[in-house]
Structure 1
Amino acid sequence: MSAYTESAPSRTEVDALPGATVIEFGTNWCGFCSAAQPHIEQGLAAHPDLRHLKIEDGPGRPLGRSFRVKLWPTLIFMKDGAEVARVVRPSSAQPIRDAARQIDSTE
């Protein structure tokens, strides 16, 4: 399991990302985030080419605020810089699979 990174791209950089991207907001000390990791890994397993950014979130973090993230983990699924789907606190892999398929269906 990779850690959430403190360095975050700007919203302008995220909006300019080509192709499929999932941004996962959370923190390394968050129990909900740790509990969700197996579900996230399983849900994304069929999408190895999907760009997955794990960004540390919290007060004063502009990227998370720009997406109005309220709970962790929150996964934002994007296609060519536009939000296609969002999964908040997944308790199984299925909602992640469903969201990843939404990116695939926009091609």
Structure 2
Amino acid sequence: MMQAATIGFNTEYSEDAPSLEEIHSLSSLTFLEFGAPWCGHCQVARNAMQEAIDEHSSLVHIKVFDGKGKRLGRQFAVKLWPTLILLRDGKEVERIVRFTSAEEVRRLLLLS
């Protein structure tokens, strides 16, 4: 499993982002979250994310530190933080941006 991937809730944004090829090779239901540790919107979303993932502890959660010059965020056309993308077998199913509640994350999972 790639270094940035964690089963269950991932507490830290990883500077070491996986490549697009590694993302496309995933064979599980995965949350790919883009943000930054100093981002106020990301800090608000943290508890919502943790609550929703704790209910689905087998999910993979990849939390990527995004910003200027960060390639993976550009490849996924991330414009605002946090951006949470639900992937099934490495392909985007749906995304939510600037979420604030666990209910928003749960609704995203219903699309899987």
TM-score by length of 2: 0.87
Equivalent residue number for residue 11 of structure 2:
2
Equivalent position SS for 1:52: strand
Equivalent residue number for residue 103 of structure 2:
94
Q: Distance in 1 between matches of 2:94 and 2:55?
A: 17
Percent identity between the aligned chains?
44
| Partner deviation per Cα, 1:73-94 (whole Å, 9 max, x = no partner) | 1001000011011011112111
Quick one: which of 27, 31, 36 aligns to 1:27? 36
Q: How far is 1:43 from its partner?
A: 2.0
Q: Which runs of 4+ in 1 moved over 4 A?
A: none
User: What RMSD in Å do the two structures reach over aligned CA positions?
Assistant: 1.1
Quick one: which of 2, 18, 37 aligns to 2:27? 18
CA contact (8 A) 1:77 1:83 kept: yes
Q: Distance in 1 between matches of 2:100 and 2:11?
A: 19
| Partner deviation per Cα, 1:19-49 (whole Å, 9 max, x = no partner) | 1111110011111101111111122222111
Q: Which runs of 5+ in 2 are unaligned?
A: 1-9
Q: Distance in 2 between matches of 1:56 and 1:77?
A: 17
Q: Distance in 2 between matches of 1:26 and 1:56?
A: 5
Q: Distance in 1 between matches of 2:100 and 2:90?
A: 26
Q: Distance in 2 between matches of 1:40 and 1:19?
A: 18
